[in-house]
Structure 1
Amino acid sequence: MNQRLEIRNIPNEHLMDSLQMSAFAFQDELTPEKVEKRKKLFDSNQMWGAYVDDTLAAKMAILDLQTYIQGKAFDMGGISGVATWPEYRRGGLVAKLLSHGLRVMREKGQTVSFLHPFQFSFYRKYGWETYTEYKSYEISAQQLPKLGAQPGRIVRTGHDVKLLNGIYEAYASRYNGTVIRNEAWWKHRIFSFTEGTVAVYYDAQNQPAGYVYYQVKDNILKIHELVYLHQGACLALWRFLADHDSMLDKLVMKAPANDKLPFLLDNPRIKQEVVPYFMARIVDVAGFLTKYPFASGVEWSLQLEVKDEHAEWNNGWFLLQVDESGTARVTPVASASPELPTASCTIQTLAAMLTGYQRPSFLMDIGRLTGTTEVCESLERLVPTRQTYLLDFF
């Protein structure tokens, strides 16, 4: 018996159907409080459902977000809440939702997409690739930094979004893959889903230069966010946190993968783990490369072959011409010319390289990027080195 499948926006009247599916898939208790929170976040225009004979069988959200890449804002489609009822699983519904989502994001000008995978290998099949990881720290109270008095002052404050976002933006723009936040994001995604205290550091010039958002509960100090604009702010915030030592057994937190905190400790043998986190996908190769800020200094041209099984507009050859300012002109071409250098990679590899998660030389060493030594050296120069990081979850 043939079943009728339709991919369409999930209307407001199907909100509870969507929430119940998520609660079942993610084994979450759907309390009245959670229902009210999710009602505030629900936007039918961002919610997509796979309907089988008019029954909601699978769903996902495409959040309209922006991210920093090489200090520049890119429109980003945040894939979230992907779920399917068990009786409809392994029927290709998520694949159809993702394929539809790629077209939707492209039409919106979202040249890149992020998601948190339940399984990395699953989403690699559809063009996403790991782009960031974080360090997880667990530090006993006895191992906290032993620091003297620091210049400046710490002020415990409320949810002053304007103040905090000014510090956050200056910090986040230094990394690739951070979310650009607005007031609604702070209110409904940060403070609505976590509890705690905010303390802001003002430096010797009385400028806000860092903050920590944290909670002390059951003798554990959990840092939700530790953000600082210079090393002085970092030291002052750690001095403040260490002064909680009489109330706690340990401190737990996440930090960028290149964080050097253990080096600052008297005993660096703390519990730490590197955790793969989010994945990225380039939705529109031509649009992304055109906006991407390559390193400036030298004009360069490359013929790039991209392999993308799920987005035909990305699958093929592109002529990439970078001028002295680092701005690229991108032209799809039918085939490569023998007169210009060439390189070839999958859409996954391209995302890993241009988000800064992996360097071109490493990708070429492992066979994920093909080309001559000269091409590799040019890409090493043209793709700026910048750490990836993501503080948020969606």
Structure 2
Amino acid sequence: MTDDAAAAVRPLSADRYDEFRRIVDYAFHPEEGPQRYDDDPERIADRYGAFVDDALVSVCGHYDLRATLRGEWVRLAGLAAVATPPEHRREGYVGALVADALERWRGEYPLSALWPFARSYYEQFGWATANTATTYTCPPEQLAFARGAADGRARPVEPDEWRALRSVHETAAAETTLALKRRSEAWWRERVLSEGGDDRPWAYVWERDGDVCGYLVYDFEDAGEGFENRRLAVDDMAAADHEARLGLLGFLADHDSQVTEIRFESDARTELLDLVDDPDAVDCGVETGPMVRVVDAVDALETCPYPADASADCTLAVTDETADWNDGVFDLAVADGEADCAPREADAETVDPDATLDVGTLSQLVVGYHDVATARRVGGLSVAEGSVADTLATLFPPERVYLRTFF
């Protein structure tokens, strides 16, 4: 790789939009061929580019998001649309974009997230798996147990009702960590409901006593040869409570005259296999999802909500090959659910830390993807003695982590 300093990173002006889109489309949709672009649409993400002189050699997008973290809402920086034309690859330009992003986010965002094209690629920059997700594929009759199990009714909705969907989404989001809040109107209309697009999905809500308490956004697709082989694929699904979820599943079951398969995604804690008549008829696939990263260790450890009865006074040695401000020793004190954290500077090289871990493992502990025992077993956490592991386990209990919104 060449030196990252050879590329200057700066925000992209509107007149670079077509060039940005060409680079991104070539990276992620090359099968569609060269495209023509209309006027710059409403900007959901801020666009940045790496330049060598005036040549745009790599691009990315930054998202300003809000996400749940252990029951509270925090700012989350999203990194997306990272793309480099093939003639400029393997020159260190993505590294320049990442370093610039972390510098810009520092002090504003305790955490960042992305959806990787290759997990190992972003692990080198400090991101780590945020959560897993389970995809279920089953004949519609396997969801028949939910027919009539919930009060209410299903009805179709148009993009103008996006606020109702957002309300359900945010109610459901409160039950998980890293669920996103404050999807904008443009996000709902353009990203979720594809208003004005050629391939608009179908959208239904589950309504109870006049209130929307669940929704589905889905498409129909081929599941094999022949007209009779059709799949209903759910793109987005949320329910305010278990009864509303049953209503949605019963609605899906009523497509048995149209499809041979239903496919939808859920977090790993769903009880679907305990509800269906024949669990063997349900295919389950568990996959890793997005990745998460601590932007600034001090900020993240002080922002993280802790159990009210947790207390600690420990020293953590963190390694971070991308953000040097995280590469060092930190004193962490926790009492009454609040934390103070500070880097150890004067004697950092001589102190014996209570725990040592890489920034990816730290990120997973903060959000609760790994508990401490798992982080010691499969992650990068080592502790000086067992009592330290007990203390950390009290500080960082596991969470139901599920960032399901693609950006």
Q: TM-score, length-normalised on structure 2? A: 0.88
Bigger shift: 292-301 or 12-21?
292-301
Equivalent residue for 1:374, pick from 370, 383, 387: 387
C-alpha distance in structure 1 between counterparts of 2:34 and 2:69, whole Å = 37
- Aligned partner of residue 143 in structure 1, secondary structure: helix
Distance 2:329 2:13 in 1: 40
d(CA) in 2 for partners of 1:225, 1:281: 25
Report the Cα distance in structure 2 between the residues aligned to 1:30 and 1:102, rounded to whole angstroms: 33
Aligned 8 A contact 2:361 2:379 in 1: no
Structure 1 residues 115 and 377 mapped into 2: Cα distance closer, same or farther (>3 Å)? same
- Map 1:252-331 onto structure 2 (within 5 A): 252-269=263-280, 270-324=282-336, 326-331=337-342
Q: 1:340 to 1:299 in 2, by over 3 A?
A: farther
Q: Shift of residue 171 of structure 1?
A: 0.5
Distance across 1 between alignment mates of 2:34 and 2:393: 51
Q: Does 1:139 align with 2:138?
A: yes
Tell me how far apart the structure 2 counterparts of residues 332 and 68 of structure 1 sit (CA, whole Å).
26
Q: Match of 1:295, as an amino acid?
A: P
Task: Give the Cα separation in 2 of the matches to 1:277 and 1:368.
Answer: 20
Structure 2 partner of 1:236: 247
Corresponding residue for residue 165 of structure 1: 166
CA distance in 2, matches of 1:120, 1:148: 40
The AA in structure 1 aligned to 2:206 is Y
1:336 to partner: Cα distance: 6.2
Local SS of the residue matching 1:80: strand
Task: Give unpaired runs (5+ residues) of structure 2.
Answer: 223-229
Change (3 A) 1:5 1:182: closer
> 2-side partners of 1:147 and 1:163: how far apart?
23
RMSD: 2.5
Question: Structure 1's 341 and 294: CA in aligned 2 closer, same or farther, altered over 3 A?
Answer: farther
Report what 1:70 is aligned to. Answer: 70
Instruction: Work out whether residues 42 and 186 of structure 2, in 8 Å CA contact, stay in contact via their aligned partners in 1.
Output: no
Match runs of 1:336-347 below 5 Å: 342-347=354-359
Please say which of residues 174-183 and 208-217 is displaced more in the overlay.
208-217
Moved more, 349-358 or 156-165: 156-165
CA distance in 2 between counterparts of 1:196 and 1:366 reads 40
Matching of residue 210 in structure 1 with residue 209 in structure 2: no
Residue identity over aligned pairs, in percent, reads 28
- Give the counterpart letter for 1:172 in structure 2: A
Report the counterpart of residue 176 of structure 2 in structure 1. Answer: 175
Aligned to 2:94: 94
- Count of residues in Structure 1 that have an aligned counterpart in Structure 2: 387
| Cα deviation 1:4-62 (Å, max 9, x = unaligned) | 632211111111111111111123436868x34x831447x821111123111111111
The answer to whether the 8 A contact 2:375-2:381 is kept is yes
For residues 256-287 of structure 1, what are the alpha-carbon distances to aligned partners after superposition, in whole Å with 9 as ceiling and x for unaligned? 12222122111112121111121111001111
Post-superposition offset of 1:158? 2.5
One-letter identity of the residue aligned with 2:315: Q
Given the alignment, which residue of 196, 200, 204 partners 2:205?
A: 200
Pairwise CA distance, 1:112: 1.0
Structure 1 residues 99, 207: closer, same or farther in 2, change over 3 A?
A: same
AA in 2 matched with 1:58: S
TM-score between both structures, scaled by the size of structure 1: 0.91
Query: Which amino acid counterpart does residue 214 of structure 1 have in structure 2?
Result: Y
Q: Using the alignment, how far apart are the partners of 1:120 and 1:74 within structure 2?
A: 24
Aligned residues of 2:147 and 2:253 also touching (Cα < 8 A): no
1:200 offset after TM fit, Å?
Answer: 2.3
Q: Which residue of 2 aligns with 1:115?
A: 114
| Residues 144 and 83 of structure 1: CA distance in aligned 2, closer, same or farther (over 3 Å) | same
Quote the offset at 1:341 in angstroms: 7.2
Q: Which residue of 2 aligns with 1:387?
A: 400
Deviations 1:308-347 (A, max 9, x none): 12112111111111112x1111122224699997111010
| In 2, Cα distance between equivalents of 1:128 and 1:17 | 28
Compute the displacement of 1:188 (Å): 2.4
